[in-house]
Chain A
Amino acid sequence: MGFDPTLNGMSAITLKVNGRSHKLDLDPSTPLLYALSDDLALNGPKFGCGLGQCGACTVIVKGQAIRSCITPVRSVAGADITTLEGIGTADKPHPLQRAFIEEQAAQCGFCVNGVILTAKAFLDKNPKATEPEIEQALSGVLCRCFASVRMLRAIQKAGQEMAR
């Protein structure tokens, strides 16, 4: 198991994030998002609603895009967790990240974490997805600036590259 109970409701929990292991002392019911943003100082996953309704907090665990704001750390202890930082960098962006840069597919940028990671988890499993299938896959993610036209275009473009 990845966590051991200690005093005061805190436990030593091991999180494997972007290929690195971190031993943290946390209340095991803490949503994963807080461990990622506050304890590991990651900027990718974001608190949007805390209710699993918007996608801003998305991370990828076992190939699935999950909502880290409603996922207790104890349920992902020891599992491989990938955040937006883990799929590419400013110098070596993932095809999705590159397509978003090329298409200038953002306004405020708060939603891009959820949009890109949801698209990645979907395209990894469905490399030949059609445009309506991609739209369907993103129907649980919000962008309140509505940069939707560009984002969908960027996802299509990246999807073609990822399928090669």
Chain B
Amino acid sequence: MNTFTPDARAALGHAGLGRRDFLKGAGALIVGFSAGGLRTAKAQFGGPSPGAPAMNRLDSWIAIGADGGVTAYSGKEELGQGIATAQAQLVAEELSVPFDRVNLIYCDTALTPDQAYTAGSQSHPANFNQNNLAQAGATAREALLQLGSKRLGVSVDQLTAADGTIRVKSDPLRAVSYGELVGGKKFNLTLNPNAKRKPVREWTVLGKPVPRPDIREMVTGQFEFVHNVRVPGMLHGKVVRPPAVGATVVSVDESSVKNVAGLVKVVVRKNFVGVVAEKAWQAIQAATQLKVTWAPGVGLPDQAGFYNHLRTLPARDALLVDSGDVDQTLAGAATVVKATYLHPYQMHGSMGSSCAVADVQGDKATLWSPTQGVWYQKSTVALLLGLKAENVHVIFRRGSGCYGLNGADTVTYDAALLSHAVGKPVRVQLSRKDEMAWENYGNAYVMDERVGLDGQGNIIAWHHESWSPSLGNRPGPGTPGNIITGYLAGFQPQAFAPRTPAPPPTGFNNNNNGVPSYVAGGVGGRSRGTGTVKSELVLTHTVESPFWTGPLRSPNRLQNTFAHECFLDELAARVKADPVEYRLRHLKDARLIEVVKEAAKAANWETRPSPQPLPRKTGVVTGRGMACVLYEGDNGYSALVAEVEVNQDTGRVTVKRLVACNDVGPVSNPDGLRNQIEGGALQGLSRALGEEVTWDSEKVTSVDWRTYHTLPMGFAVPKIEAVLLDRPDAEATGAGETSITVLAAALGNAIFDATGARLRQIPFTTERVKKALAARG
């Protein structure tokens, strides 16, 4: 308990969540924070972060209480994607206990292993394959069978484990429960890499559509988000952000808020300005009223010319593939096709603006944060406040869906700075504008595609070059300046180092899906791509961004896939090939081929070239489009068919039906997977049709839901069908970012199929659609 401030301890006690009680409630009695206790035992084995429970120790992952209750610890958190339920299923399955006997605790720096961020569709790969939580479950089950064998005097092969009990196969009345075997004691075991996992075909809990228990709490208003954390004596903070990008504080006139009732303090640290008051409404009034004199900002590049501007900036260049013969092959090609695709900055635009509670007293800090990385939050808050990292305790509490690096980390810094200044617990929730104007946006992109075709219309060379602006990122070790609050408080974002020319690629890495699916991916004498085209070059230019940037659901992958998959259809149209047939002609990866075929089959895909023979150039026409991807080059196969209506008079695009086929390895929870596929596809639709960060000469101007255009709840929602391929023998992949990755391309291809108009710039606003329709001539 020594990492809690007194108020934090009281708050947890008030909520019935004192550490000791917490574990008792879960049936576990693995107490002991004294010198010989659990934390010390864990610490001596080391871990990714100092003080984190050792990854290779079973007790870091699983504890069994005297009543047979199972407490599991994970470094992968629930963000609304359903992973908590899937992880509890995993533990129940591997341990052979009922689902509702598993209590999963995730992302608390006093309790759980350091699994870095919950991000990048990595929770399944990290915890469901032959490692970490899955392996802990299997190790524990084998250990329990061994203990049962000794207790019952029967060899292990004569025993079964089910419902938390070891039984003699021939005499089921001879039995001993897990609680009786190890309840309240530590296992004291290292994870056994050879412990046998349950074969997928024997699953009884995994693979089932187990409902999420948290949904009942959410829909009845019982669920506690970070927004509902209430610490005794808690004050309310508000930040005062600069009026322009790069504006700096000249002076702060504290007398301007003298009359605000309940005001506790005005806090200034370099360019960070905030207020603390007794009540939230008082803090808002003080923040609004506070007179701050700012020096002008740095000025922003003209948005109208921004994409061309990116091409002129100093860049850090990287080559993903380079067969060395692309120029030569293009020179000898029967036809060369070129196109440029544009993608704007987009924002996470969380439904709830970000919120955190910090309690900094003396040299200790407790933070309730919706961060995706509690351990990085711990080390960077220590830097920010000048505390020892071991005295900073970060407890994940769920925020509004983040979809990547939204304001979660920055608002935690805000709360930490304000609490540090007043020595009392402070809650901060950002205003809508402060959330939207200063978050780390998803990257803008300029993508040039250039392909050579032979006389038969086959692709013989593919040249791809992209420009993308970047600034800051997740606040990794030592970089609180990667997000706005850290920067305002005096820290710098990670350094940008231009580099030209790019060194040759040393290994094939398609993590950003920069390499199109149709090329061979040849690096170092091996071809690890999913396609057949051997003449290939992918060159990326990262340039400095005027805005903070960071991962937004399918970062870089969505942008690259939009360009590659639309361009593939442009090529198919050029040679009058059916888009599905043309994909299959250039793919070699069996699993990617299968999702393409299955999606086409489920959609009753009509084989013919695009565009459809256009009946007329006015009124409503319909069309269909496809796109596919092997997400991150190795993390989930996805193909999507979109069917659209386009009103050629108004430019309005209406999606009628989406058919998504996914191969994610063995499916841990089919309903959870469907939920992700559906939500990802529709979020992708919103991003493709309307979402774009806008700015003027000094500041961001898309700062609320009137100026940043999301689809509302009740838009004409298309029918969505998800086809899930069963791959019991494959490894588990992520699934949260696949359908969103292919949506924009499938949509662009469907609009082209319907109208013959090719859209190469997201979002596909009605104005852009009308312009593209007019350009048909």
A37 to B427, CA, bound (A): 13
Knowing A43-B228, A143-B351 touch, does A149 contact B720 (C-beta < 8 A)? Answer: yes
Is B281 a contact of A31 with CB atoms below 8 Å? Answer: yes
**Cβ contacts under 8 Å, A152 to chain B:** 714, 717
**Cβ contacts under 8 Å, A1 to chain B:** none
Q: Is the interface of B mostly helix, strand, loop or mixed?
A: loop
Is B222 a contact of A90 with CB atoms below 8 Å? Answer: yes
Closest to A99 in B: B219
A56 to B352, CA, bound (A): 8
**Cβ contacts under 8 Å, A145 to chain B:** 80, 351, 401, 679, 683
Is B712 on the interface with A (CB-CB < 8 A)?
yes
Q: How far is the CB of B742 from chain A (nearest CB, A)?
A: 15
Knowing A100-B219, A140-B712 touch, does A27 contact B281 (C-beta < 8 A)? Answer: yes
Q: How far is the CB of A23 from chain B (nearest CB, A)?
A: 16
Is A112 a contact of B714 with CB atoms below 8 Å? Answer: no
Q: How far is the CB of B482 from chain A (nearest CB, A)?
A: 23
A43 to B676, CA, bound (A): 25
Q: How far is the CB of B713 from chain A (nearest CB, A)?
A: 4
Q: Which of A10, A42, A116, A139 contacts B219 (CB 8 A)?
A: A116
**Cβ contacts under 8 Å, B399 to chain A:** 108, 110
**Cβ contacts under 8 Å, B219 to chain A:** 84, 93, 96-97, 100-101, 105-106, 109, 112, 116
Is B280 a contact of A43 with CB atoms below 8 Å? Answer: no
A110 to B717, CA, bound (A): 20
CB contacts under 8 Å to B, within A127-164, are 134-152
Q: Which of B211, B223, B671 contacts A109 (CB 8 A)?
A: B223
**Cβ contacts under 8 Å, A139 to chain B:** 712-715
Is A142 a contact of B678 with CB atoms below 8 Å? Answer: no
Q: Which of A43, A47, A147, A149 contacts B221 (CB 8 A)?
A: A43
Is B400 a contact of A108 with CB atoms below 8 Å? Answer: yes
Is B265 on the interface with A (CB-CB < 8 A)?
no
Is B220 on the interface with A (CB-CB < 8 A)?
yes
Q: How far is the CB of A19 from chain B (nearest CB, A)?
A: 15
Is B220 a contact of A84 with CB atoms below 8 Å? Answer: yes
CB contacts under 8 Å to A, within B714-740, are 714-717, 720
Knowing A34-B280, A145-B80, A149-B720 touch, does A83 contact B212 (C-beta < 8 A)? Answer: no
Closest to A53 in B: B705
A-side interface size class: 35 or more
Q: How far is the CB of A20 from chain B (nearest CB, A)?
A: 15
Knowing A43-B221, A47-B429 touch, does A134 contact B714 (C-beta < 8 A)? Answer: yes
**Cβ contacts under 8 Å, B713 to chain A:** 55, 111, 115, 138-139, 141-143, 148, 151
Q: How far is the CB of B432 from chain A (nearest CB, A)?
A: 4
Is B71 on the interface with A (CB-CB < 8 A)?
no
**Cβ contacts under 8 Å, A90 to chain B:** 216-217, 220, 222
Knowing A43-B228, A56-B352, A144-B401 touch, does A107 contact B80 (C-beta < 8 A)? Answer: yes
A49 to B279, CA, bound (A): 18
**Cβ contacts under 8 Å, B80 to chain A:** 106-110, 145
Is B261 on the interface with A (CB-CB < 8 A)?
yes
Is A63 on the interface with B (CB-CB < 8 A)?
no
Q: Pick 14 A–B contacts, CB within 8 A, sort by A.
A: A27-B281, A27-B282, A37-B228, A38-B236, A44-B221, A51-B704, A101-B216, A107-B81, A109-B218, A142-B351, A145-B683, A148-B713, A148-B717, A149-B720
Could you list which residues of chain B lie within 8 angstroms of chain A, going by C-beta atoms?
Answer: 79-82, 211-212, 214-225, 227-228, 230, 236, 261, 279-282, 349-353, 355, 398-401, 403, 429, 431-432, 671, 675-676, 678-683, 685-686, 704-706, 710-717, 720
The 4 closest A-B pairs by CB, nearest first: A108-B80, A44-B221, A108-B401, A138-B714
Could you list which residues of chain A lie within 8 angstroms of chain B, going by C-beta atoms?
Answer: 8-10, 27, 29-31, 34, 37-38, 41-44, 46-51, 53-56, 83-85, 88-90, 93, 96-97, 100-101, 104-113, 115-116, 134-152
